[in-house]
Chain A
Amino acid sequence: MKYKYFLFAAVAAFLFACEKEIEFKGDEVKTKLVLNGILMPDSVVKIQLTESRFFLDSNRLFNQIDDADVRLWKDGVLKETLQNTGEGYYVGTYVPREGDNLRITASHTGFDPVECETQIVSPTPIISADTTNTDIEKYCYYQYDEDDWTIIIDSVKFVIFKGDITITFKDPADIAGYYIILLDLRTRYESGNVYVQPLRYTSDDLVFKTDNELPFDDDDDFNSQYSYQFSDELFDGKEYKIKIKADSYSGYYWPDEDSKITNRELQVTLQSLSPSYYMYIKTREANSDSYFFTEPVQIYTNITGGIGIFGNYSNSTFRIPLD
């Protein structure tokens, strides 16, 4: 990573720069209604309305819009008016089904009315998921007092999971498919408690490379994340096997040390995303990775007349016993 700073320093060295505050002289920026709603499987429709703010506005919080008229339309027919539950949230009673075309309209005095729509996606079943080269390692370490080097905390137990996971699924034909894979390590204790630990992973699979900028980073020796989005561009309508690698940095604290573990499972989740939600995730991630040498990234919005994202996802899970 150092060379990037070198590069930046080199450029900066040229700039015997003079800084000053300037007045913004662009066109007047009118704030907009922000509608955010990511619909989840088996849940009622819930969205949040807030107000955007001018980028030079020093207020940290966003105004929540609680007295708007928010309506849910299904396949072009008004289904219900969503009820405000405070803090800008609006909730309905209808539980969406696969294939529903849902539209939300929202209006409030002082703002342009907004509308957005999404089609509820179907889950894509995981045909199989296998692990190889798995390894669960237990570590413990001690925390010391910096002054006299006495042990403050004795034996913090730490578990690391490593493994190669192959996931097979069939992409539906004639539909653009967008996905995210999530990995969780589920540990059940004799006490009945279940701890779910999200795992980071990496992959060399091409499907990830078309979508994710993985910056070369010589300070970090891993590029793992908790999730990568990808599209079916390379396997549209076909059965596809993805290989991922949960790396050594996926770990969790063992909180219930007095209780015995009864079993451990690796849960693989294949999340099918609506196109708009996929675009939002993709552009938002790219936006957060922006730095001096990159192009600024526009975060996708599908809210006509406003800003935000209205999308949905559907989960398909597969559990692999580890013990």
Chain B
Amino acid sequence: MKRICLIISIALYCSYLLKAQHYTISGYITDEKSSETLIGASVFESGLRKGAVSNSFGFYSLTLPRGAVEIRYSYVGYAPEIIRLDLSKDTIINILLKENNVLQEVTVTASPQETGVKGTQMSAIHVPVAQLKAVPSLLGENDLIKALQLLPGVQSGTEGFTGFYVRGGGPDENLFLLDGVPLYDINHLGGFFSVFNADAIKNVTLYKGGFPARFGSRLSSVLDVRMNDGNNKKLHGNISVGLLSAKISLEGPLFGEKTTFNISARRTYYDILAQPLLWYVQSENDMEKTKAGYYFYDLNVKVSHKLSDRDRLFLSFYMGDDVLYADVKDEYEYTNENNAYRDTDKMKMSWNWGNLLTVLRWNRVLGNKLFMNVTTHFTRYRFDLGVGSAFQSNNPNANNYDTNITYKSGIQDYSGKIEFDYAPNPNHDVKFGANYINHTFHPSVFVAKMHEDNATPLDTVIGDKDVFAHEMVAYAEDNFSIGQYFKINAGLHYSAFSVQGKFYHSLQPRVSFRAMLKENLSLKAGYTIMSQYIHLLSNNLISLPTDLWVPVTKRIVPMKSHQAALGIFYNLRNIADFSIEGYYKTMDNIIEYKDGATFLNINTGWEDKVSIGRGWAYGVEFLAQKTVGKTTGWVGYTWAKSERQFDRPGQELNFGRIFPAKYDRRHSISIVAMHRFGEKIDVSGTWVYNTGDCATLGLQKYAHPDYYSAYDYRDGLSYIDQRNNYRKPAYHRLDFGINFHKKRKHGTRTWNISIYNLYNRNNPFLILPDEKYSDDGRTSKKVLKQISIFPIIPSVSYTYKF
């Protein structure tokens, strides 16, 4: 018996020793040419069939048993690298992957590791930047948001305007992260273009559901955009000139290979081009002197520094503004009682809005299995609208005045965050961390300054006071395998929000599950609870930069959503991917402006202008994408339904009845195709179809209670049976783009020709009842008028890359 016990003990000890003889391979995966870290690259040991994925900073960690191993490093668009070694100790391998010119042609919308057939992540799409740049665009401006709106489950708002609607959620339910830091307004020119300059971006991942525990704060989506770090070998850049804007990007080493920089700038010049024309028209027509225009600009800067093999420091900066201005000046001279006088009348308007963001980040490899990221940031969104008028005269009897009224709103955050990635063994990938954000909300303020002769000067501030809030987050998640067929990502996200003496908190479980049905076929399911502590007050008609960010308060409680999703994923010979996903989502405590409410009314606090209600959305999304070959692209189809109900006493909208959400579109189809004819020419085209948006129209007129019968020619009252009761005509559009590349002595030049709305479809922007009069003006008839804003728009741009 003693012998048996001894044998068992020895066996257990040997087993322990064998188990203990695991070693960790870790390091960074980077681009060979630029040393740019690669996010989501695959590290795979083929014999044991164990693998890992590089994190958001390109770091990976894979623990394997002692012995001979064959590690395959791969990344989309890069030639795989295979390393064979006898693993006998913890090893650091920093891998440089070479761009594969053949694979570079490939268009891939899903990273196979994280979001494809084998990963647990569902309802997420990884978008290579090369693909973004290939999608034909309005006025030749590559636009990240417009490209994402071509994916199933993502809806655009009113054409040309702000709006990013994911799975029936509202426009404020999306978290836009630039290098991990929230941006509150992502639009230029009211949404015609986004603030993301494609030249500055390295990586884009959109999460529509199945949110890992590390993400939170919004109900419907997370868009994780990472900026380029900068090339540490050589100075590179590109210059681009289009019809709307000019761009320049530069990247390279700074004081040696340890420090890199990346700077991208963009500015529109419509205002500069239009001003001489404006002056000419004024001089020809003897008009008032007017200076007016609009422009926007972006500036992205990132500096990274390698302190040691274990430490890296990053400083990111973004600044972007939209500026709309008009100055009208009218001067006139006159004589009165032999005195000459000169009067000057001025009117001015300036409308500025934009973001400012600064991020300081420190990465440290604490051990082969543990990676730490510490981030501190400042982000600010502000909106200023100023209107002024002044009158000055040398006539002593004149009444001189100078009046300025400014409307301001905004939000700013200071934040500190610490995150850890821990990979104890190949079956587990643990992430945990904590975050603190200090919010300051400036809901809406009018500042009025008035100076007038013989009157008391006025200098007053009217409106909501600043609101200060504290947000705390802690999370932990583990992406773990159970055998070869099952993988689960389970986590907890805890968030708390303190505002106006009120403390809200929420524990949000997250779970995603993947079962491999075949080598290339998997079933995935996910369930998430999300909580959101800030709201965007937005008018329903169109979204504008005037939309206000406001926090939860004592009266306005946090929004909360539950989302369940189920999907099947199939990969066809690594050439094409197919997925079909269904989801059901509920949203509680969402807010909307009450009937008739507007941001312009400062007599009423914003809390009194909104109603609290709930919504729910469900749908099915289909995506087929061809990822390899000269012809690539995807077909997406979404069937969806999204409804709202505001029935709390005193908060009723639509008299408490259920109504469709404004962007409730039953069918959405998008087809995106790209073809490369060779090194010199490539073409791309997109076709998109959406069921029309909802609008609210009074479809009947009826008599007033004080109707005078025969002599009463008043138009009557409008009968609106329910909100969003009218479906606008369907939206569809075909875009086309062609690129001509040519190698030059120091780089490559590209001519891009794009045609937006190729068959000149008049898509509805606004639908209004109107009165049409006969030529003699005696008779009229009522008509329904459609306003469209984008006819066929050809554009051309030139890019030189060196």
Question: Which residue from B600, B764, B787 sits with its C-beta under 8 Å from A15?
Answer: B787
Q: Are A295 and B604 in contact (CB under 8 A)?
A: no
Q: Which chain A residue lies CB-closest to B650?
A: A233
Q: Are B772 and A286 in contact (CB under 8 A)?
A: no
Cβ of A96 within 8 Å of any chain B Cβ, yes or no, is no
Distance from B170 Cβ to chain A, minimum over Cβ atoms (Å): 15
Q: Are A216 and B446 in contact (CB under 8 A)?
A: yes
Which of chain A's residues have a CB closer than 8 A to the CB of B598? 213, 215, 291, 293-295
Instruction: Give Cα distance in the complex from A172 to B655, angstroms.
Output: 26
Q: Are A214 and B385 in contact (CB under 8 A)?
A: no
Which of chain A's residues have a CB closer than 8 A to the CB of B698? 55, 296
Instruction: Give Cα distance in the complex from A15 to B326, angstroms.
Output: 17
Within 8 A of A (CB), among B540-598: 540-542, 544, 546, 592-598
Instruction: Give Cα distance in the complex from A132 to B711, angstroms.
Output: 43
Within 8 A of B (CB), among A120-138: none
Instruction: Give Cα distance in the complex from A63 to B522, angstroms.
Output: 65
Which of chain A's residues have a CB closer than 8 A to the CB of B349? 3, 6, 10
Which of chain B's residues have a CB closer than 8 A to the CB of A213? 596-598, 601, 603-604
Instruction: Give Cα distance in the complex from A296 to B717, angstroms.
Output: 13
Distance from B251 Cβ to chain A, minimum over Cβ atoms (Å): 34
Cβ of B789 within 8 Å of any chain A Cβ, yes or no, is yes
Q: Are A298 and B702 in contact (CB under 8 A)?
A: no
Cβ of A62 within 8 Å of any chain B Cβ, yes or no, is yes
Q: Are B709 and A56 in contact (CB under 8 A)?
A: no
Q: Are A295 and B703 in contact (CB under 8 A)?
A: no
Which of chain A's residues have a CB closer than 8 A to the CB of B597? 213, 294-295
Known: A10-B324, A307-B700. A17 touches B716 (CB 8 A): no
User: What 0/1 pattern do residues 49 to 71 of A give for CB contact below 8 A with B?
Assistant: 01011111110111010000000
Question: Which residue from B405, B541, B789 sits with its C-beta under 8 Å from A16?
Answer: B789
Instruction: Give Cα distance in the complex from A210 to B160, angstroms.
Output: 36
Q: Which chain B residue lies CB-closest to A308?
A: B702
Q: Which chain B residue lies CB-closest to A210?
A: B608
Question: Which residue from A61, A301, A307 sits with its C-beta under 8 Å from B713?
Answer: A61
Cβ of B400 within 8 Å of any chain A Cβ, yes or no, is no
Which of chain A's residues have a CB closer than 8 A to the CB of B160? 14
Cβ of B415 within 8 Å of any chain A Cβ, yes or no, is no
Distance from A69 Cβ to chain B, minimum over Cβ atoms (Å): 20
Q: Which chain B residue lies CB-closest to A18?
A: B788
Q: Are B699 and A54 in contact (CB under 8 A)?
A: yes
Of residues A10, A11, A60, A295, which shows the largest number of chain B Cβ atoms within 10 Å of its Cβ? A295
Distance from A202 Cβ to chain B, minimum over Cβ atoms (Å): 12
Which of chain A's residues have a CB closer than 8 A to the CB of B716? 53, 62
Cβ of A29 within 8 Å of any chain B Cβ, yes or no, is yes
Distance from B458 Cβ to chain A, minimum over Cβ atoms (Å): 11
Q: Are B782 and A19 in contact (CB under 8 A)?
A: no
Which of chain B's residues have a CB closer than 8 A to the CB of A300? 655
Instruction: Give Cα distance in the complex from A280 to B719, angstroms.
Output: 12
- On A, residues with C-beta under 8 Å from B are 2-4, 6-7, 10-11, 13-26, 29, 31-32, 34, 36-38, 48, 50, 52-58, 60-62, 64, 87-88, 209-210, 213-216, 218, 233, 280, 283-284, 286-287, 289-301, 307-309
- On B, residues with C-beta under 8 Å from A are 160, 189-190, 192, 294, 324, 326, 347, 349, 351, 385, 387, 389, 405, 407, 446, 539-542, 544, 546, 592-604, 608, 650, 654-655, 696-705, 707, 709-710, 712-713, 715-720, 722-723, 726-727, 729, 762, 764-765, 767, 769, 772, 780-789, 791
Across the A-B interface, the 4 shortest Cβ-Cβ residue pairs: A286-B596, A36-B705, A87-B709, A3-B387
Give me 28 A-to-B residue pairs in the complex whose CB atoms sit less than 8 angstroms apart, sorted by A's number.
A4-B600, A11-B190, A14-B789, A17-B789, A19-B785, A20-B786, A21-B772, A21-B786, A26-B699, A36-B704, A54-B700, A56-B783, A56-B784, A58-B781, A60-B713, A62-B701, A62-B702, A209-B604, A213-B597, A213-B601, A216-B600, A291-B598, A293-B539, A293-B541, A294-B597, A295-B541, A295-B598, A296-B720
